[in-house]
């Protein structure tokens, strides 16, 4: 019996030590995990950085289109519209690429592993929206 008790005592000690190690590891991962996940308010980025230049480009291209499309056939006007739409999409892509680069830059500086849209997060994460806007402006 004594040998069996020592075996069980050793097993209980081993299991307790393993549980302690797992608990400490999970605690350290959880602590780091919250600091490595960030959120960005894309609505704020749109409002404060993207909206003005995109609306300005849209208005300018719309005015150019209206001027050049006068007297064109429906087919020619449609083709011209597609060209202006492509120009507007290129401008939008240029600005959204700058946003992506700014997010990546902030994430790199802060050693972040994940950055998600703030609207998709109910709780937690480090908000880096102001840092991204600072780079964009």
Q: What is the predicted pLDDT for the residue at 82?
A: 92
Per-residue pLDDT, averaged over 59-64, amounts to 92
**Helix (H) and strand (E) counts in the chain:** 5, 3
Which sequence spans correspond to the domains of the chain? 2-136
Q: What is the predicted pLDDT for the residue at 103?
A: 93
Nearest to 102 by CA among 42, 59, 55, 51: 42
User: What's the pLDDT tens digit per position in 66-116?
Assistant: 899 888 899 998 999 999 999 999 999 999 899 999 999 999 999 998 898
- CA 5, 9, 12, 18 dihedral sign is negative
DSSP codes, 62-118 = HHHHHHHHTT--HHHHHHHHHHHHHHHHHHHHHHHHHHHHHHHHHHHHTT-SEEEEG
Q: What CATH superfamily is the domain 2-136?
A: Skp domain (3.30.910.20)
pLDDT over 70 percentage in the chain? 74
User: What's the pLDDT tens digit per position in 4-33?
Assistant: 556 555 555 655 555 556 555 555 545 555
């Amino acid at each position: 019996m004594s040998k069996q008790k020592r075996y069980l005592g050793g097993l209980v000690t081993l299991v307790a030590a393993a549980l302690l190690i797992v608990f400490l590891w999970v605690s350290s991962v959880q602590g780091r995990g919250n600091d490595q996940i960030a959120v960005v308010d894309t609505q704020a980025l749109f409002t404060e950085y993207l909206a003005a230049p995109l609306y300005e480009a849209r208005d300018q291209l719309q005015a150019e289109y209206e001027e050049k499309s006068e007297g064109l056939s429906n087919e020619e006007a449609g083709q011209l519209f597609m060209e202006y739409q492509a120009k507007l999409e290129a401008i939008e892509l240029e600005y959204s690429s700058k946003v992506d680069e700014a997010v990546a830059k902030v994430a790199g500086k802060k050693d972040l592993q994940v950055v998600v849209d703030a609207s998709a997060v109910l709780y937690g994460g480090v908000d880096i929206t102001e840092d991204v806007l600072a780079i964009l402006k």
